[in-house]
Structure 1
């Protein structure tokens, strides 16, 4: 996406850091206010207002650099009026990049001014449409056939399908923490898998046995045992990355729960809370009291008098 790292590795770092940033803030938000939790498409930085929208500005810069890089390679070939086959994928990448560009611009305009008030879910759906178009590009426009490259992109499609699905599920269930944190994990998973593709392309020592460097510097594995072995290794890497992300999220939740609730940051977090709103413990106590039915003691009826044993009626003679 940008040129500070080799191909695909830079995109892996960007989406990996973005997923980690979203997971950290989602976990912190849920731990602090579990009963008032609501998903966020982006998270402001607690700095002076000029840096509050740092996430959006960084993403805007990265998207613009990506579009410029792709178009700088493809535009010179348009002088003949025909898109060269080698550059069709660049134009495909630019199409979904424009969705990310639209998302950042709309978010900045909406958040920094009253010119564009947006109903809930608009930013999230715009961001999700960019990933949906990327999924379609990978599915219909990338390397069909039984090759290692097509297999790796198929695994990427699984991640993208899950990411898009959970992004739209967040709009339907905005207070569901499980949906929100799963979306963050899938966003980070997209980054780690991109990084794995970059390693496979740019690191010669990662070449699978029996394979050689093919088109686009991607390993070319002959059909048979070399291809099956290379695919099996990628499935293993895929599963290990998934396991690592889930484990890291659980460990991160435990650490944040320890330091945010019982650690030295409690007083700072309490100062940031709105004093006019009830704390979550108070809300829980109120709900518990509402759930307990009110039991009133009904006095014994005055018409019912205790009957002594000696007052039993004798049978009539």
Structure 2
């Protein structure tokens, strides 16, 4: 076998996207909390210098490109359907991956529009859309049409644990918008989600990294790893579990180190209150009603500076 670059890249590139967003959120949540712990309210996304909606624009572009790749590119025909309008059996997994991209497009596009029109409860609604993305992903990977069995299946089962953690923290963030712990864990889970997707792409479909006693074979028009005995399968699954544990430990140490560095780099600012205008007061009241948060120590949420 010469390797399966499409399968490998198809996991590594989306993984890099989740990793970038997760790191961006990790840094900014810690920075925002370190500067103003009493006024901390968790944003769903962070504006970038010069281009406010850059994060959302990049999510839209990346999701659209991946959607097009899954539906139209790298197949014998560019049409995702048969002549009678049905979905070919060998394209089911592409359609399943594409609906995850579609959920990301809906989230990013809606969040951008909600911010531009300054809709009430926009943070709570945007975070609910984030939860929909992870719920869609969890549904797809749990009931995948592809037989993720054996070594490959173990990696995808562990991926479901990460996605479930992302979903849980997204839902918790709606009810607890002032909880730094929830935001920190959610950002760390999104970062680890990206790391693990990249690990799957590198370890499952690169022949040189296939565990001893297993090999990369073609079945039903796709490449997968099959082990030659029960002992080799058991060893391969154990190696996947060990990798998950090692990466999780490294991720934990990284988050703690980043937290200490950012808090040292951005010490707490002197407490002050900017008296909001009447329209801002009403908007802040509505946001607190939507998120379930309450003002603490008389501070009002402050504008994020990046």
Task: Give the match for residue 67 of structure 2.
Answer: 67
For structure 2, list consecutive stretches of 5 or more residues without a partner in the other structure: 1-5, 276-295, 300-306
The superposition leaves residues 187-237 of structure 1 with CA deviations (integer Å, 9 ceiling, x where unpaired) of 011111101111113432211001111243332113411111111111111
User: Does 2:176 correspond to 1:176?
Assistant: no
Task: Give the match for residue 11 of structure 1.
Answer: 14
Conservation of the 8 A alpha-carbon contact between 1:201 and 1:217: no
Task: Give the match for residue 44 of structure 1.
Answer: 47
Matches within 5 A, 1:273-288: 276=274
- Call closer, same or farther: CA 1:143–1:88 in 2, change over 3 Å: closer
Conservation of the 8 A alpha-carbon contact between 1:8 and 1:195: yes
Deviation at 1:145, TM superposition (A): 6.8
Q: How many corresponding residue pairs?
A: 265
SS at match of 1:38: coil
Conservation of the 8 A alpha-carbon contact between 1:142 and 1:150: no
- Equivalents in 1 of 2:25, 2:260: separation in Å? 17
The superposition leaves residues 100-143 of structure 1 with CA deviations (integer Å, 9 ceiling, x where unpaired) of 111111111122235x5444410011121111111011011154
User: Does 2:263 correspond to 1:257?
Assistant: yes
- Equivalents in 2 of 1:44, 1:145: separation in Å? 38
Deviation at 1:37, TM superposition (A): 1.3
SS at match of 1:40: coil
- Call closer, same or farther: CA 1:107–1:100 in 2, change over 3 Å: same
Matches within 5 A, 1:117-128: 117-128=120-131
Task: Give the match for residue 79 of structure 1.
Answer: 83
Conservation of the 8 A alpha-carbon contact between 1:213 and 1:220: yes
Task: Give the match for residue 228 of structure 2.
Answer: 222
SS at match of 2:247: helix
SS at match of 2:13: helix
Conservation of the 8 A alpha-carbon contact between 1:143 and 1:150: no
- Equivalents in 1 of 2:103, 2:29: separation in Å? 24
For structure 1, list consecutive stretches of 5 or more residues without a partner in the other structure: 278-282, 287-317
- Equivalents in 2 of 1:97, 1:274: separation in Å? 42
The TM-score, its normalising length taken from structure 2, stands at 0.80
Matches within 5 A, 1:184-263: 184-215=187-218, 216-261=222-267
Q: Alignment RMSD, CA only? A: 2.3
Task: Give the match for residue 133 of structure 2.
Answer: 130
The TM-score, its normalising length taken from structure 1, stands at 0.77
Conservation of the 8 A alpha-carbon contact between 2:166 and 2:190: yes
When Rg is computed on C-alpha atoms for both structures, the one with the higher figure is 1
